[in-house]
A and B are shown apart, each in its own frame.
Chain A
Amino acid sequence: MRGISENSLGWVIRNRTSELLKGWWQPGILLAALIFSIPVLTIASFLLQPSGDVWQHLVDTVLTGYLINSALLTLGVGLGTLSIGVTCAWLTSLCQFPGKKLFIWALLLPLAMPAYIIAYTYTGMFDFAGPVQTLIRDWTGWGYGDYYFPEVRSLGGAIVMLSLVLYPYVYLLARAAFLEQSVCVIEVSRTLGCNAWSSFYRVALPLARPAIVAGLSLALMETLADYGTVSYFGLGVFTTGIFRTWFGLGDSAAAAKLAAILLLFVFTLIVIERWSRNRAQYHHTTNRYRQLPQFQLTGFRALIAFVACLLPLLFGFLLPASQLGLWALDTYTVMVDASFIRLTLNTILLGLSTAVLAVLLALFFAYGKRVLASKLVFASVRVVATGYAIPGTIIAVGVIIPLAWFDNTLDAYMRDQFEISTGLLLSGTLFALMFAYLVRFLAVSIQSVESGLAKIRLSMDEAARSMGYKPAETLFRIHLPLMKGSVLTALLIVFVDVMKELPATLILRPFNFNTLAVRAFELASDERLADSSTAALMIVAVGLLPVILLSRSIASSRAGS
């Protein structure tokens, strides 16, 4: 019966067991899932609402532009991340060349670099007054207009910036897929007459395709969610359009409607990603792994491989990080003052408290899913875990609208009944901000906690139960001690994500409340690039922590071992 109780029927069995554990847990999970879905539901409802004048104005003037720009941006970043990600993944998994060991983890470093930071760093380096063009003019004696230099602050520039920091998603998943392939399929293809190259194109690449598509859709979700880069470059896409409509035209309904359309695109990506991940499972051809044969590259070929891996690392991390470092050395004595320390503390406190909440909620959801295992709970957890794909801008708008409604309704009621004005209770508070963070980042903590739980066999739970422990006691005595690592990882990743988050923070932060990300972005927007570098560098430095964790886990885990 083992076979049956552990395959697809598994949930049915545990589902029925769960009927014995009725209580507050399952309703609690359903309610929490509903609450965390409010922002997305709010935005989605605007798809159906009648459009006002402002919306008609948007349709007549800017909407087509938003659509075209967003499409071009997505297409460009898609091509960029694919070509960089797959090339590097293939070189570092199936080839042997000098420096490969270093590149395997170093190629992840750009993940630590938020796109808006790399965007204004490059602007500072490459615009007319920047060091590069100044150097060219000094050497050649040319003046303004005498030569062509590509404009960083353009659609093309945004594509390059985003590709440089988002390719690791494709790289990570593609590399894992290449490594997980059984040596047998590759060898079988060789015995059937394929040479090394054609076995890559005809076997390895098609087998890795679902994983590559999944990585690509993650990168594109980030692209659609980006606000900092496109705003800094002055591009009209959906996220910037939402901001302009909200703050410029003051029309929340039209902004929400824009957000709703963006949501449609995001959902398409979510569907593609889920579908690809499912397919990727079927592409696991075997559970017997052996190190794949490596193509030994020498001479010119090795040099090309080396350069191909070096370029994304150089431009995606080393160069911008060094520039930030140089700027920070110049300016930190002025920039680090009492207000800087206060906003650093703000950021840390906000990040920590959100992270702790996110992990507690993740335990509640993930352990509930394990113990209750009902279809409803599965679906709820899945809905909550969709937040990672939703752009911060959408979530912010989706949080602010219901909260404002709640505040106004309560205020009106209290005035009516008791002649007391409650004012804005929730809007514009840290509560609203943290709620938005949780909507976006719960997925991260749930995923981490779930993967920790998944490593603990169900027989552990049952053993504890058979020795007289209730489910909650089992969680504290068995699961938590065994999954300390996953819990800490979840804390760290949520903390860093909160620290880097920009658009939702910009919209929802309480008056006069600043974080490092907001401060860096504000200074950069005021063209004080050098001044913004200290805050930016701190974000990058902290952002390196989860990347290091990730690269270490990649180095230590090998498929099949």
Chain B
Amino acid sequence: MTSQLDIEKLDVSYGDNQVLRQISFSLQPGNIGCILGPSGCGKTTVLRAIAGFEPVLGGRILINQVEVSSSYFCVAPEKRDIGMIFQDFALFPHLSVADNIGFGLKSWSSGQQQTRVREMLAITGMLAYGQAYPHQLSGGQQQRVALARAMAPRPGLLLMDEPFSGMDIDLRKQLAREVRNILKQENITAILVTHDQHEAFAIADNICVMDEGRIQQQDTGYNLYHQPANRFVANFIGQGVIIPGSVESPHSVQTELGHIEGKLPISHATGTEVDVLIRPDDVIHDDSSSETAIVIDKSFLGADFLYYLRMDSGIEVLCLAPSHHNHKINERIGIRLDVDHLVIFDRN
């Protein structure tokens, strides 16, 4: 299958400040990709380069197998067959919802335009609001109009720049699910930029984690969490602590918390000092365990408690325990390790 978007060794800089270095990834038709990273990592720049709002210094961008950006070459944004959803939605305040959605359909016949606008209103559940103006809509409704407007011309690629950033958490989750369903239903290739991993997990098939202008890891959400490629991804995705350990055999590591079995990414000589990533769900609360730790803090998450524990050696770990195990701070509780994925990093 040929890919819908190819980015090859992309470099972008603002003056002397290089903000993107050697970014490469591809997106298959109908897939939803996500660029995830902290603010300032360059993720929005990637999106704007794809849209044609930023010129590129090196590398190239292909949309639907056609080169649209390289150094000294840049197809104007209006000729790229893209749709874009902006952080602030950028709905035109002087046009009604229907006119906003129809804005990109200027080359269609008026009959086709009407049909398509109606269709988009229906898909996004906004049929009753065609004649309303953007300022009369709630944030979630504006979001739907922005989606409808960007999808209406059937762009080859839909770009979304932090589309849920201005909303409260509940609405975010609901809209992320809705948007994913609509995109899948319409079989649209899309790429989302966000700093929120939960949003990324909810909407994307494939996620690129970025930091400091580079792609740190490209994978599914599950793998990013359980098999982070480096310390940055390990810290950025999910919670966890890094504890010291030493290699016992090609299949196991000895730590303060005990012996952990798993596949080692690279073969290390026995006795090599390494760091081991321990996720809160790797530490199981077990009253019958002989291993114990002191609760130094805890936060209530609803179904679970997240316990901050200190071992006798002084090492601190996190433990996710069902919320009916309500322990007091300074209480000593039993724990045991149950590590599914062994993740180790070389000790610096």
* Chain A residues at the B interface, C-beta cutoff of 8 Å: 1-5, 9, 12-13, 16-17, 19-21, 457, 459-460, 462-470, 477-478, 481-482
Contact = CB atoms under 8 A, between A and B. Distances in A.
Contact of A459 (B45, B83, B86): B86
A429 to B, nearest CB: 41
A466 B39 contact: no
Contact of A17 (B15, B53, B94): B53
B103 A467 contact: yes
B291 interface: no
B53 A462 contact: yes
B88 A457 contact: yes
Contacts of A12: 14-15
B319 to A, nearest CB: 36
The DSSP consensus for interface residues of chain A is helix
Contacts of A482: 92-94
Contacts of A463: 84, 86, 90, 92, 149
A16 B78 contact: no
Interface string B165-201: 0000000000000000000000000000000000000
Nearest to B88: A459
B44 A2 contact: yes
A19 B55 contact: yes
B324 interface: no
Contacts of A457: 88, 90
A20 B74 contact: yes
Nearest to B57: A16
Nearest to A21: B76
B245 interface: no
Rank and list the top 4 A-B pairs by shortest CB-CB distance, nearest first.
Answer: A467-B104, A1-B44, A459-B90, A463-B90
B48 interface: yes
A5 B48 contact: yes
A9 B17 contact: yes
B189 to A, nearest CB: 15
9 contacts: A4-B14, A5-B45, A17-B53, A463-B92, A466-B78, A466-B84, A467-B103, A469-B106, A482-B93
A467 B99 CA distance: 13
A2 B87 contact: yes
Contact of B39 (A2, A16, A464): A2
A3 to B, nearest CB: 6
B281 interface: no
A9 B103 contact: no
A401 B18 CA distance: 51
A465 B76 contact: yes
A1 B90 contact: no
Contacts of B150: 466
Contacts of A468: 78-79, 104, 106-107, 153
Given A463-B84, A465-B78, A17 B55 contact: yes
B284 to A, nearest CB: 41
A1 B92 CA distance: 24
Contacts of A462: 51, 53, 77, 84, 86, 90
Contacts of A20: 55, 74, 76
Nearest to A13: B14
Contacts of A17: 53-55
B221 interface: no
Given A1-B19, A468-B106, 19 more contacts: A1-B39, A1-B48, A4-B14, A4-B40, A5-B44, A5-B48, A12-B15, A13-B14, A17-B53, A459-B90, A462-B51, A463-B149, A465-B76, A466-B80, A466-B82, A467-B83, A468-B79, A469-B106, A478-B92
A20 B17 CA distance: 20
Nearest to B103: A467
Contacts of A460: 90, 92
Contact of A464 (B40, B55, B103, B159): B103
Contact of B77 (A4, A466, A481): A466
B228 interface: no
Contacts of B86: 459, 462-463
Interface string B79-115: 1101110111010111000000001101100000000
A469 to B, nearest CB: 6
A8 B74 CA distance: 24
B159 to A, nearest CB: 8
Contacts of A2: 39, 44, 87, 162
Given A3-B39, A5-B44, A459-B87, A13 B54 contact: yes
A466 B88 contact: no
Contacts of A5: 44-45, 48
Contacts of B107: 468
Contacts of B41: 1
Most A CB within 10 A of own CB, among B53, B87, B88? B53
Given A17-B53, A464-B103, A482-B94, A470 B78 contact: yes
Most A CB within 10 A of own CB, among B48, B78, B83? B78
B42 interface: yes
